């Protein structure tokens, strides 16, 4: 075993769950029995990206559970080293898929890290204030699509004139702070924005459903064409599409960086913005957003266990959330008729296949497209290293996982990669560009839109 983790220790110092932490310790928002669900069998280790890379037990799910529980019990101090092992977790939830005991790892690591970032050990004082990147970029720019669109305008112009490549060639980009350099490398080719989608789009043919579309923040600013393709695909399947103007960021950017209350403010805003009673589903095309929207009631319970009204409102909202592929397979998809001659491989976004348990539906949909040859991707469900903002905050591990994903993609001989998450698309596109032979990275709805003859204007 490595320096801390000891999975074969007794369950608690007294063998009884009643030793749960005293009020001043971390871990108070977590139901203690969730720690006890883990029997330390180790079947999760082969699925954990960080353990696969480091071989360190503390970087495995069972090792991290042991560390969190030991801190909660008061048997271990939350040192910088312990915090480092917990911060290195991608929160990809692959361990949940591998676990035979049904351990809710996300409901352990996420609230624990929120407490880590909100308190010092013992909870006596707040941690240091957020740094410039978190304050101005993660929290001040990314969650606001209108701000992000304006911020990206100069970058779009530079791409159009080729000035971005010139700046990189002569080394000007190396003058930027490291995180901004990484942002510049991750930036995709920014396509021309079409007109804003109307608030209501009619179904084509007989109406089969009425749905609302969640457009997101970073996804809408950088991949607005995917939202347009999503709307076209839904229309082609007989859906009237409502796009609420008052919707906001899902809150994942805040929650996963430890800012829980701003995340819940966005949750409340979204629950109020969407006509939950008047639609059959709330459609999401970004895996990370979908997982967050579905987790709203769980997070609300952890933060305010006695606020039943907030939990009920968010549970009602979350019950309507569906990934686009999940919804279409439930509805019964209209078969595409236009050929899409392409050999492609499909990457499983972590928060789609592990957090939302949606694995087969995208493949089934793509299998309906004439001319599309889908080839398997080795380690398809191992994280690509994007993990939201992880590729900006943990560059070394992100790059290691990215190179692993790149090798597997190249081994398929595919002409394109298909992914259902904006963060994965950014990461994989950047890796392919840096490798010198870029391939298109497409969302499943972009393929379907072509199959319906409804390819979007860009």
Find the helix or strand (DSSP H, E) in which 272 lies.
helix 260-273
Please count the structural domains in the chain: 4
Confirm whether 145 is domain-assigned.
yes
Residues 152 and 107 in one domain: no
pLDDT band at residue 455 using 50, 70 and 90 as cut-offs: low
Question: Residue 128 burial (CB < 10 Å; 0-12/13-18/19+)?
Answer: exposed
Contact 71, 63 (CB under 8 A): no
Instruction: Please compute the mean of the pLDDT values over residues 378-402 and round it to a whole number.
Output: 92
Residues 262 and 317 in one domain: yes
Q: What is the CATH number of the domain that holds 237?
A: 3.40.50
Collapsing DSSP to helix, strand or coil, 234 comes out as helix
pLDDT tens digit sequence for 122-178 = 443 344 456 778 888 888 888 888 888 888 888 888 878 787 778 778 877 777 778
Residue-range definition of the domain harbouring residue 236? 200-329
Collapsing DSSP to helix, strand or coil, 374 comes out as strand
Residues 215 and 320 in one domain: yes
Q: Nearest 5°: phi and psi at 399?
A: -65, -40
CA–CA gap between residue 454 and residue 235 (Å, rounded): 10
Out of 309, 329, 349, pick the residue that ends a domain: 329
Rg (CA), the chain: 22
pLDDT tens digit sequence for 325-380 = 999 999 999 999 999 999 999 999 999 999 999 999 999 999 999 999 999 999 99
Instruction: Please compute the mean of the pLDDT values over residues 43-71 and round it to a whole number.
Output: 95
Residues 294 and 382 in one domain: no
Residues 364 and 308 in one domain: no
Residues 206 and 325 in one domain: yes
Instruction: Please compute the mean of the pLDDT values over residues 8-13 and round it to a whole number.
Output: 39
């Amino acid at each position: 075993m490595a320096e801390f983790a000891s999975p074969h220790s007794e369950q608690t110092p007294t063998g009884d769950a009643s030793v749960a932490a005293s009020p001043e310790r971390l871990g108070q928002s977590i139901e203690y029995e969730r720690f006890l669900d883990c029997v330390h069998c180790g079947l999760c280790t082969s699925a954990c990206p960080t353990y696969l890379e480091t071989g360190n037990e503390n970087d495995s799910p069972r090792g991290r559970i042991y560390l969190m529980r030991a801190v909660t019990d008061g048997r271990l101090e939350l040192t910088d080293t312990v915090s480092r092992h917990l911060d290195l977790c991608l929160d990809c939830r692959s361990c949940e898929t591998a676990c035979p005991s049904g351990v809710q790892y996300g409901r352990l690591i996420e609230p624990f890290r929120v407490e880590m970032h909100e308190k010092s050990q013992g909870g006596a004082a707040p941690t240091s204030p957020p740094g410039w990147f978190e304050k101005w970029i993660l929290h001040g720019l990314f969650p606001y699509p209108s701000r992000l669109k304006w911020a990206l305008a100069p970058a779009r112009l530079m791409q159009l004139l080729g000035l971005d490549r010139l700046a990189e060639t002569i080394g000007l980009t190396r003058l930027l702070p490291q995180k901004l350099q990484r942002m510049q490398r991750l930036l995709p080719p920014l396509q021309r924005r079409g007109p804003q989608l109307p608030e209501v789009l009619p179904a084509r043919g007989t109406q089969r459903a009425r749905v609302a579309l969640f457009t997101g923040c970073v996804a809408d600013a950088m991949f607005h064409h995917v939202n347009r393709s999503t709307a076209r695909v839904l229309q082609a399947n007989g859906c009237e599409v409502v796009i609420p103007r008052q919707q906001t960021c899902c809150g994942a950017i805040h929650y996963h960086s430890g800012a829980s209350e701003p995340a819940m403010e966005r949750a409340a805003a979204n629950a109020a913005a969407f006509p939950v009673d008047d639609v059959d589903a709330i459609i999401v095309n970004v895996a990370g957003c979908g997982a967050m929207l579905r987790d709203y009631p769980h997070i609300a319970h952890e933060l305010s266990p006695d606020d039943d009204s907030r939990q009920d409102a968010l549970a009602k909202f979350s019950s309507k959330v569906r990934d686009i592929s999940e919804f279409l397979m439930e509805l019964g998809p209209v078969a595409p008729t236009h050929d899409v001659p392409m050999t492609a491989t499909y990457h499983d976004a972590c928060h789609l296949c592990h957090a939302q348990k949606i694995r087969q539906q995208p493949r089934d949909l793509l299998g309906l497209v004439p001319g599309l040859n889908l080839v398997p991707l080795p380690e398809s469900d191992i994280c690509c290293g994007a993990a939201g903002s992880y590729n900006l905050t943990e560059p070394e591990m992100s790059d290691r996982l990215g190179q692993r994903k790149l090798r597997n993609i190249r081994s398929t001989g595919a002409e394109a990669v298909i992914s259902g998450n904006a963060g994965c698309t950014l990461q994989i596109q950047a890796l392919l560009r840096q490798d010198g032979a870029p391939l298109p990275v497409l969302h499943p709805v972009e393929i379907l839109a072509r199959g319906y003859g409804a390819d979007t204007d860009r």
